[in-house]
Amino acid sequence: MTDEDLRRRNVRTALWLAATAVAVFVMFLFRYALSGP
């Protein structure tokens, strides 16, 4: 495996982690807004 493949895999993993973090953050934000006053 070349460095380019490894870098591409790392970028894809980072994007997946960022997308998951944003989704969880939005879910908590909606839940907090709905349960708020």
Tens of pLDDT, residue by residue over 2-32, are 999 999 999 999 999 999 999 999 999 999 9
- The type of residue at 32 is Y
Cα end-to-end distance, the chain, whole Å = 55
Helix, strand or coil, per DSSP, at residue 26: helix
Query: What is the pTM for the complete model shown?
Result: 0.66
